[in-house]
Structure 1
């Protein structure tokens, strides 16, 4: 079991490192080669498509993982999911065609349409990936998940070397990357699948599946809005330049969630099995939260100390100093995001979808109100503050409605580790130290402060390992 855990975590870590590395390459090439307005418009279109296809999923992606982990037939689940995908795809393109007819002069509609061709292929690949995740075949899932970014990243580097980066080139390469992802996913699924897929339309079963997913739909809508509403509002209410700057900082913020992305696919099956077997010992879950606070806070220190000198160096001064306040605020969202993910997984595994929906709906309302109020006043920093505020509200509400996990057991870690990180950053920035000595000083100071707060990494790792490898 220990060997399987190591293999699963290794596969997830390698997948996330590869994905984030090539995602960073993509973002870097585009940020250097496209103008800020052009970069902002492209990110705005991608943000809109992310929201649309997330909503169209109806939450069946997470429901699929839960059903497969609980032992249901992959063939039936994929067959029903594919009916949903084709129906939602027809709805999406019908609505897009109507909008195009009503607003034929809108210059971004062709861009949205072409990019959506790639995103729809990724949409088709989703059920196969989720079944693979539910089976805990994480090595196979890693192969499915990295193809798109690898193809896009390599192709963009080649295009940059040939001095041929234009918007139409980017669109074509994005479609090719998504096509490669779909083909690779189908190949790997059928190669490693025990049971073949038979597509049998079953309206009654599909209706029951949608009814089960209905509470999750509200969560999906709110989560989709939370993920990119700030991008859209910045582009509409402020400028494409502000959107370009904010999206660059936000992308780095997403990259530093790598440890969360590595462990998150492992948690849903384990939490489902934990609550199905009615285990009372939650020490492993508390250890996960404490370790995540340590890791998230360490990443806060590293990111903020590296930000301005490193980013200005690699982007020719375009995205470093102008984003120093933005990235500081966004990085302090990371601990809250880690905690929220664990609490959401706990609630999802206990089938408390209505409670989760209520929390996320309130969070979504806070985020929308915060963005509408703060973006006109503070622009991209306002968007970052709205993100931090909404995640804080979400975390508090999750703890209040969770029947198992208690805030008192982890409150010290949630409060102390981020405060240690902030203290380290502020104190070192007050010194005249140069770049490398300042980075080293901040790291050492954070470790010392965290040690004073009761750092117990060996014990925490042991508890986490036991939780993730418990016999099922």
Structure 2
């Protein structure tokens, strides 16, 4: 089980890492092309629509994934009903997001971009039932391939927009393009698990009672998804409304590192969620503890050098991704990078909390949304966009502390401090070296820092032989799946 989980995380991460390296290159050019003001407009459009995009499954995707993992015999029934639900809800949300844009009298250019991006939201919503099946069946190499294709589409349209001197309305087509491509690919891939999915017959077989029962059971997931959507993007909306698009553009240049690095904890959570749900359903608490500790160790090892390095190299990193016009964003990045590290560390707990203690997760996230919004409204006029970075770190810290506490109290006691000290020591040595060598090229510094950190982990014997063997097993082919 652990080996298969690790392989799924590896392939999702590997595909995303390659794609994001290319996407990083694309954004280095896009930020320079749009400038702070244009970047602010574009990121406002994406953040506005993304709030609705995250809400569009109303929390049902995670719940359906959990049910499919626990009750595989009814996978097709869950899939078909979820598909119809997504179609109806995405249409409703599209009408709402357009209506709000008109009612709030957004700039006509912004409304056009929102309209096109919203169509992409609808297309992507239709992929969620397919993704739920693939996740429940742990067939994530194909999901990794689709993620890679999405990034390639994103990159291609960005460079095409720059080459043709197009603006944000053209860029808004990215979501719609890869949404349609994803639908076509998922229809092929899903046949391994549902040989006759009968997509077009799903409407005729729609059972409102099933959706009603799902929503009744899934309402905590719904609230959790809704609060998470607001929490993740509300800062961009508030900055755009309280300050201006230029300040939004500066903030999003720093936040782009959060977006780029977020792929890894997202991959870990995506894979661990059904696995931990299945283990808890069988009451295999000792296996849950071992799984948590293994991936907590992995995430700590990655989080600390990212935070230390990002803080010390914030100016060089902003110059690298966005250019000198965005240099005022460097102090924001130096703060914001710690929220990434905190997210990395608590993400294994997140996968368990949303599976088993969903109501606690809703409560925590709701408090975080309130704290984040209040903090931004109070601090933005005083200290500018650094306020949004500070509130993100505060919110992630609260989330992590509560998640650790609830898992420790209600599910299992797990190691943490005994895991933490070796990466802390390694990151401190790495940070000292980066500070002393700060005049070198940023890419050289990153390479030196990674080398020193790896050497320190080796010296302190942080990684065991068994864990090294697990890494080597990533590259071995999976055994054939028995259909008996």
TM-score (norm 1): 0.87
Provide the residue aligned with 1:289 in structure 2: 296
Q: Secondary structure at the match of 2:172?
A: helix
1:218 maps to which of 215, 223, 232: 223
1:276 maps to which of 272, 281, 288: 281
In the alignment, is the contact (CA less than 8 A) between 2:457 and 2:463 conserved in 1? no
Displacement after TM superposition at 1:143 (Å):
2.7
Provide the residue aligned with 2:316 in structure 1: 309
Higher mean alpha-carbon deviation, 262-271 vs 208-217, is at: 262-271
TM-score (norm 2): 0.85
**2-side partners of 1:136 and 1:114: how far apart?**
32
Q: 1:376 to 1:447 in 2, by over 3 A?
A: farther
Q: 1:157 to 1:413 in 2, by over 3 A?
A: same
Displacement after TM superposition at 1:430 (Å):
5.8
**2-side partners of 1:432 and 1:256: how far apart?**
23
Q: 1:51 and 2:51 equivalent? A: yes
Can you list the C-alpha shifts for 1:130-167, whole angstroms capped at 9, x where unaligned?
A: 2111111112212333333211212332443x343323
Can you list the C-alpha shifts for 1:187-224, whole angstroms capped at 9, x where unaligned?
A: 33346643423511111111001111111122112111
Displacement after TM superposition at 1:2 (Å):
7.6
Higher mean alpha-carbon deviation, 217-226 vs 259-268, is at: 259-268
Q: 1:461 and 2:458 equivalent? A: no
C-alpha RMSD of the superposition: 3.2
Displacement after TM superposition at 1:306 (Å):
4.8
Q: 1:55 to 1:168 in 2, by over 3 A?
A: closer
Alignment of 1:331-350 (within 5 A): 331-350=337-356
Provide the residue aligned with 1:138 in structure 2: 140
**1-side partners of 2:49 and 2:79: how far apart?**
23
Displacement after TM superposition at 1:30 (Å):
2.4
**1-side partners of 2:254 and 2:424: how far apart?**
19
Can you list the C-alpha shifts for 1:382-430, whole angstroms capped at 9, x where unaligned?
A: 11110111111111111222212447x2035457745763675367436
Displacement after TM superposition at 1:261 (Å):
3.1
Displacement after TM superposition at 1:101 (Å):
5.9
Q: 1:213 to 1:95 in 2, by over 3 A?
A: same
Can you list the C-alpha shifts for 1:347-393, whole angstroms capped at 9, x where unaligned?
A: 2333x221221122222222222222222222221111101111111
Q: 1:291 to 1:75 in 2, by over 3 A?
A: same
Q: 1:387 and 2:357 equivalent? A: no
Provide the residue aligned with 2:361 in structure 1: 356
Displacement after TM superposition at 1:464 (Å):
7.8
Alignment of 1:236-247 (within 5 A): 236-247=241-252
Can you list the C-alpha shifts for 1:232-266, whole angstroms capped at 9, x where unaligned?
A: 11111112111111112111122223432332222
**1-side partners of 2:470 and 2:365: how far apart?**
27
Higher mean alpha-carbon deviation, 9-18 vs 415-424, is at: 415-424
Provide the residue aligned with 1:38 in structure 2: 38
**1-side partners of 2:241 and 2:314: how far apart?**
27
Provide the residue aligned with 1:128 in structure 2: 130
Q: 1:227 to 1:3 in 2, by over 3 A?
A: closer
Alignment of 1:426-445 (within 5 A): 428-429=434-435, 433-435=439-441, 439=446, 442-443=449-450
Provide the residue aligned with 1:261 in structure 2: 266
Can you list the C-alpha shifts for 1:247-292, whole angstroms capped at 9, x where unaligned?
A: 1211112222343233222211221222122223223322321221
Q: Secondary structure at the match of 1:340?
A: helix
Displacement after TM superposition at 1:338 (Å):
2.2
Displacement after TM superposition at 1:105 (Å):
6.9
Q: 1:349 to 1:235 in 2, by over 3 A?
A: same
Provide the residue aligned with 1:94 in structure 2: 95
Q: 1:464 to 1:381 in 2, by over 3 A?
A: farther
Higher mean alpha-carbon deviation, 324-333 vs 410-419, is at: 410-419
In the alignment, is the contact (CA less than 8 A) between 2:114 and 2:172 conserved in 1? no
**2-side partners of 1:54 and 1:7: how far apart?**
27
Count of equivalent residues:
465
Provide the residue aligned with 1:328 in structure 2: 334
Q: Secondary structure at the match of 1:24?
A: helix
Unmatched 5+ stretches in structure 2: 479-484
Q: Secondary structure at the match of 1:196?
A: coil
In the alignment, is the contact (CA less than 8 A) between 2:250 and 2:329 conserved in 1? yes
**2-side partners of 1:39 and 1:432: how far apart?**
29
Q: 1:151 and 2:153 equivalent? A: yes
Unmatched 5+ stretches in structure 1: none
**2-side partners of 1:133 and 1:341: how far apart?**
17
Displacement after TM superposition at 1:449 (Å):
6.6
Q: 1:370 and 2:375 equivalent? A: yes
In the alignment, is the contact (CA less than 8 A) between 2:253 and 2:322 conserved in 1? no
Displacement after TM superposition at 1:332 (Å):
1.3
Higher mean alpha-carbon deviation, 353-362 vs 415-424, is at: 415-424
